């Protein structure tokens, strides 16, 4: 059937009879009608709020920018979405580029930020694509939402007692082990490292890179903090440069703030500008205005500890010098004591020798007398019993039976007791001599401790004038005077040169005039 015939049948409704004529639209006609209906329904512009998603990271450098607005339902997932476009001519016309390149001080558009846009509902007929063309931004809406979230997080931290937890930690006086968390190669890293390196102190800085903006910031900062804690750093520093309030709102996230508050290591933050204060700044051990200020804070703490250490060293040196001067002064007092101890030791040794000699004489005399008495007793007994042995035998036997002893046994017992007494005498003498010797050893030890030669062995010297008298003051010396300096291994002789306090004439009655009265034992001690 010819094509024109088919068209006639279609228009007439076929052979079965007439049918209503259908309005068939082309795709173009349909899309253009949809566009017209939408323009008629919405008129001018509309305000639409939603969560930004799929915004390119390099949006500030692109000519036309395409992303999406999402509405999240009760499940936490995006239940509704619509494409959004920011065309280059609209960005130029309405000055919207400042919300993308960071030049606006309050708002920087980024993924996962809820924003409110003024837009035109647009339908593009060639592609049949519905989208929103942005022509304005309500930055107060985004900032209000951020502030609401911020207050919720602060209320939670207050209820959990986490706001002051970091403040209760103790930061070491020498926080030389630093765990740095920032974007690698950023200006914040350079500023911080410049301040640390300029101090010239032995800091050890370990960098853990992390995003300082965007959805990945929280997870990366948490991993970096955990790594620094495992490493055992003294302090953790979280820093980034300036940015809009929306940029810095990433540091208001609850999980990140809780992690900072519960970190067992003091955390120092340097986030944003002087007027900015994120929740991480609030819960941290200490917050600084800039990365440079954070470096200065650590350097100042180390410098303060070094100053205290140097002051303690100066005071310790002064105390040691004073103790040495006191010891030298006491040396003059100890010298007569050493001489007295030596004399006492010699006298005690002589007394002990005399005592031992007398004791030996008495022991010998006692043994001799006991032997003589025993012999006399034996002689008398033999004389008395020699003539009456036969007649007194019965009497002696009866007496022996009564006593259970015989005269021989009595004599033997007496001899045995005498022998025991004689054996005890040497032991008693030895014990007495040993005690005397111990006393002598203690006296000799005291004398050695007071011996000035011990100080010479430790590096000190003694200066004596021509008479052998100890020189204590330079004022006691006169030009041309001969002095002797004693060391541990010898001595040297010097001549006093004019100049200084040594040129003063000694007063009458000084030690140099009394040099002839020097104790001979003093000269013996140093020869």
Q: Identify the pLDDT of residue 397.
A: 63
Q: Identify the pLDDT of residue 509.
A: 47
Strand intervals (E) in 92-242: 114-124, 129-137, 177-182, 204-209, 235-240
Write the secondary structure of 411-448 as one string of H (helix), E (strand) and C (coil): HHHHHHHHHHHHHHHHHHHHHHHHHHHHHHHHHHHHHH
Alpha-carbon distance of 242 to 232, in angstroms, equals: 29
Q: Identify the pLDDT of residue 233.
A: 94
Q: Identify the pLDDT of residue 196.
A: 93
Q: Identify the pLDDT of residue 395.
A: 66
Alpha-carbon distance of 166 to 169, in angstroms, equals: 6
Q: Identify the pLDDT of residue 386.
A: 58
Q: Identify the pLDDT of residue 82.
A: 92
Which residue reads 């941290």 in tokens? 284
51 forms beta bridges with 70, 114
133 forms beta bridges with 85, 120
Which residue reads 């007063």 in tokens? 507
Alpha-carbon distance of 113 to 134, in angstroms, equals: 16
Q: Identify the pLDDT of residue 163.
A: 87
Q: Identify the pLDDT of residue 480.
A: 86
Residue 271: what are its φ and ψ, rounded to 5°? Answer: -120, 120
Question: Who's near 324: CB < 8 A, 6+ residues apart?
Answer: 460
H helix or E strand, kind and range, residue 242:
none
Q: Identify the pLDDT of residue 117.
A: 94
Dihedral over alpha carbons 330, 335, 340, 342 (to 10 degrees): 120
Residue 470: what are its φ and ψ, rounded to 5°? Answer: -70, 135
Whether the CB-CB separation of 234 and 205 falls below 8 Å is answered with no
Whether the CB-CB separation of 174 and 145 falls below 8 Å is answered with no
Q: Identify the pLDDT of residue 388.
A: 52
Which residue reads 């002087």 in tokens? 274
Q: Identify the pLDDT of residue 228.
A: 95
Number of H helices, E strands in the chain: 15, 13
Q: Which mean pLDDT values do the consecutive 10-residue runs of the chain (527 residues) have? A: 48 57 89 90 89 90 93 77 94 91 81 88 91 90 73 88 91 94 92 92 93 86 95 94 74 90 94 74 91 93 89 84 74 70 80 76 68 70 58 60 58 76 76 83 77 75 86 85 88 83 48 41 36
Alpha-carbon distance of 296 to 289, in angstroms, equals: 11
| Lookup: tokens for 377 | 């007793």
Residue 430, CA distances (Å) to 360, 423, 464 in order: 11, 12, 46
Question: What b/e readout covers 375-403, taking b as 16+ CB neighbours within 10 angstroms?
Answer: eeeeeeeeeeeeeeeeeeeeeeeeeeeee
Q: What is the DSSP letter of 234?
A: S
């Amino acid at each position: 059937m010819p094509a024109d015939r088919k068209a006639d049948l279609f228009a007439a409704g076929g052979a079965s009879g007439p049918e209503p004529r259908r309005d068939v639209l082309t795709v173009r006609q349909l899309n253009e009608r949809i566009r017209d209906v939408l323009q008629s329904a919405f008129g001018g512009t509309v305000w639409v709020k939603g969560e930004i998603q799929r915004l390119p990271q390099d949006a500030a450098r692109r000519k036309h920018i395409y992303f999406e607005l999402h509405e999240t339902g009760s499940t936490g997932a995006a239940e509704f979405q619509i494409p959004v476009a920011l065309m280059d001519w609209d960005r130029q016309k309405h000055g919207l580029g400042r919300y993308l390149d960071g030049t606006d001080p309050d708002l920087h558009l980024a993924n996962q930020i809820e924003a409110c846009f003024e837009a035109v509902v647009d339908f593009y007929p060639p592609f049949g694509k519905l989208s929103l063309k942005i022509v304005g931004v309500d930055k107060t809406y985004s900032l209000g939402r951020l502030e609401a979230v911020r207050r919720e997080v602060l209320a939670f931290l207050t209820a959990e007692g986490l706001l002051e937890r970091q403040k209760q930690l103790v930061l070491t006086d020498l926080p030389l082990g630093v765990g740095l968390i920032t974007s690698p190669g950023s200006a914040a890293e350079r500023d911080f490292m410049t301040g640390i390196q300029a101090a010239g102190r032995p800091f050890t800085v370990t960098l853990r890179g992390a995003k300082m903006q965007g959805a990945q910031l929280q997870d990366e900062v948490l991993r970096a903090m955990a790594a620094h804690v495992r490493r055992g750093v003294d302090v953790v520093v979280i820093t980034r440069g300036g940015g809009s309030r929306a940029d810095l709102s990433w540091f208001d996230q609850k999980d990140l703030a809780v992690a900072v508050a519960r970190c067992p290591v003091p955390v120092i933050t340097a986030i944003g500008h002087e007027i900015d204060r994120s929740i991480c700044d609030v819960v941290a051990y200490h917050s600084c205005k800039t990365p440079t200020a954070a470096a200065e804070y650590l350097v100042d703490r180390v410098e303060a500890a070094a100053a205290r250490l140097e002051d303690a060293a100066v005071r310790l040196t002064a105390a040691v010098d004073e103790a040495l001067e006191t010891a030298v002064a006491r040396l003059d007092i100890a010298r007569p004591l050493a001489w007295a101890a030596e004399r006492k030791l010699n006298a005690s040794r002589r007394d002990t020798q005399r005592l031992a000699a007398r004791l030996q004489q008495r022991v010998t005399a006692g043994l001799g007398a006991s032997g003589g008495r025993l012999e006399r007793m034996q002689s008398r007994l033999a004389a008395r019993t020699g003539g009456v042995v036969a007649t007194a035998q019965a009497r002696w036997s009866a007496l022996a039976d009564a006593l259970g002893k015989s005269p021989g046994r009595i004599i033997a017992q007496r001899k045995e007791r005498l022998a025991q007494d004689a054996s005890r005498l040497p032991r008693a003498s030895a014990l007495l001599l040993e005690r005397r010797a111990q006393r002598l050893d203690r006296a000799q030890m005291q004398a050695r401790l007071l011996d000035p030669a011990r100080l010479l062995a430790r590096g000190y010297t003694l200066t004596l004038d021509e008479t052998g008298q100890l020189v204590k003051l330079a004022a006691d010396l006169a030009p041309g005077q001969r002095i002797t300096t004693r060391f541990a291994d010898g001595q040297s002789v010097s001549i006093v040169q004019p100049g200084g306090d040594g040129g003063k004439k000694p007063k009458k009655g000084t030690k140099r005039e009394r040099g002839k009265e020097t104790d001979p034992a003093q000269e013996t001690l140093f020869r």
